[in-house]
Homo-oligomer: A and B are copies of this chain.
Protein backbone atom coordinates (compact mmCIF):
# COMPACT_ATOMS: atom_id res chain seq x y z
CA UNK A 1 0.00 0.00 0.00
CA UNK A 2 0.98 3.60 -0.62
CA UNK A 3 -0.58 6.87 0.45
CA UNK A 4 -0.65 9.29 -2.47
CA UNK A 5 -1.00 12.98 -1.55
CA UNK A 6 -1.96 15.12 -4.55
CA UNK A 7 -2.36 18.92 -4.42
CA UNK A 8 -4.62 19.97 -7.31
CA UNK A 9 -6.03 23.32 -8.50
CA UNK A 10 -9.71 23.79 -7.62
CA UNK A 11 -10.70 24.04 -11.27
CA UNK A 12 -9.50 20.45 -11.88
CA UNK A 13 -10.73 19.03 -8.57
CA UNK A 14 -14.19 17.85 -9.65
CA UNK A 15 -12.88 16.31 -12.85
CA UNK A 16 -10.23 14.42 -10.93
CA UNK A 17 -12.79 13.25 -8.33
CA UNK A 18 -14.97 11.80 -11.08
CA UNK A 19 -12.03 10.16 -12.86
CA UNK A 20 -10.81 8.57 -9.61
CA UNK A 21 -14.26 7.13 -8.91
CA UNK A 22 -14.52 5.82 -12.48
CA UNK A 23 -11.15 4.07 -12.10
CA UNK A 24 -12.11 2.61 -8.66
CA UNK A 25 -9.75 4.76 -6.58
CA UNK A 26 -11.16 6.16 -3.34
CA UNK A 27 -9.99 9.59 -2.24
CA UNK A 28 -10.46 11.86 0.74
CA UNK A 29 -10.43 15.56 -0.12
CA UNK A 30 -9.10 18.41 2.04
CA UNK A 31 -9.63 22.08 1.20
CA UNK A 32 -6.23 23.77 1.01
CA UNK A 33 -4.69 27.03 -0.12
CA UNK A 34 -1.59 28.56 -1.63
CA UNK A 35 1.93 27.53 -2.08
CA UNK A 36 2.61 24.70 -4.44
CA UNK A 37 0.03 26.12 -6.83
CA UNK A 38 -1.86 29.35 -7.18
CA UNK A 39 -4.53 30.02 -4.55
CA UNK A 40 -7.48 27.67 -4.17
CA UNK A 41 -6.58 24.04 -4.35
CA UNK A 42 -7.67 20.66 -3.04
CA UNK A 43 -5.45 18.08 -1.37
CA UNK A 44 -6.42 14.51 -2.23
CA UNK A 45 -5.41 11.59 0.03
CA UNK A 46 -5.58 8.33 -1.92
CA UNK A 47 -4.65 4.93 -0.54
CA UNK A 48 -3.70 2.39 -3.19
CA UNK A 49 -1.97 -0.93 -3.84
CA UNK A 50 1.65 -0.69 -4.99
CA UNK A 51 0.70 -2.28 -8.30
CA UNK A 52 -1.79 0.51 -9.06
CA UNK A 53 0.43 3.53 -8.30
CA UNK A 54 1.45 4.07 -11.94
CA UNK A 55 -2.17 3.84 -13.09
CA UNK A 56 -3.20 6.36 -10.41
CA UNK A 57 -0.43 8.77 -11.42
CA UNK A 58 -1.69 8.52 -15.01
CA UNK A 59 -5.25 9.41 -13.96
CA UNK A 60 -3.97 12.45 -12.02
CA UNK A 61 -1.74 13.60 -14.89
CA UNK A 62 -4.51 13.17 -17.48
CA UNK A 63 -6.94 15.31 -15.47
CA UNK A 64 -4.71 17.99 -13.94
CA UNK A 65 -1.92 18.60 -16.42
CA UNK A 66 -0.57 22.14 -16.46
CA UNK A 67 -1.66 23.94 -19.66
CA UNK A 68 -1.96 27.38 -21.23
CA UNK A 69 -5.34 29.13 -21.26
CA UNK A 70 -6.50 32.42 -22.77
CA UNK A 71 -7.97 34.73 -20.13
CA UNK A 72 -10.24 37.66 -21.08
CA UNK A 73 -9.18 41.10 -19.85
CA UNK A 74 -10.71 42.15 -16.55
CA UNK A 75 -11.71 45.81 -16.00
CA UNK A 76 -9.40 47.55 -13.56
CA UNK A 77 -10.95 47.92 -10.11
CA UNK A 78 -9.92 50.02 -7.14
CA UNK A 79 -7.63 52.36 -9.05
CA UNK A 80 -5.20 49.67 -10.09
CA UNK A 81 -5.30 50.92 -13.71
CA UNK A 82 -1.55 50.62 -14.12
CA UNK A 83 -1.85 46.83 -14.07
CA UNK A 84 -4.71 46.74 -16.60
CA UNK A 85 -4.04 44.64 -19.72
CA UNK A 86 -6.72 45.44 -22.34
CA UNK A 87 -6.44 42.21 -24.36
CA UNK A 88 -6.72 38.45 -23.62
CA UNK A 89 -3.59 36.91 -22.15
CA UNK A 90 -2.33 33.36 -21.99
CA UNK A 91 -1.86 32.06 -18.44
CA UNK A 92 -0.76 28.69 -17.10
CA UNK A 93 -3.55 26.81 -15.32
CA UNK A 94 -3.88 23.38 -13.75
CA UNK A 95 -0.98 21.28 -12.61
CA UNK A 96 -0.65 18.88 -9.71
CA UNK A 97 2.03 18.27 -7.09
CA UNK A 98 2.08 14.61 -6.06
CA UNK A 99 3.85 12.79 -3.22
CA UNK A 100 3.88 8.97 -2.99
CA UNK A 101 4.40 7.96 0.65
CA UNK A 102 5.28 4.54 2.04
CA UNK A 103 2.82 3.03 4.57
CA UNK A 104 3.75 0.72 7.43
CA UNK A 105 0.22 -0.39 8.21
CA UNK A 106 -3.18 0.07 6.61
CA UNK A 107 -6.44 -0.69 8.41
CA UNK A 108 -10.12 -0.38 7.65
CA UNK A 109 -12.43 -0.72 10.64
Contact = CB atoms under 8 A, between A and B. Distances in A.
Contact of A66 (B31, B64, B101, B109): B109
Main SS of the interface on chain A?
strand
B32 A28 contact: yes
A100 B102 contact: no
Interface size class of A (residues with CB under 8 A): 35 or more
Nearest to A44: B35
A2 B104 contact: yes
Nearest to A35: B27
A92 to B, nearest CB: 12
B29 A34 contact: yes
Q: Give the 10 A-B CB pairs with smallest separation, nearest first.
A: A100-B105, A27-B35, A98-B107, A61-B109, A28-B35, A100-B104, A96-B109, A26-B35, A28-B32, A7-B28
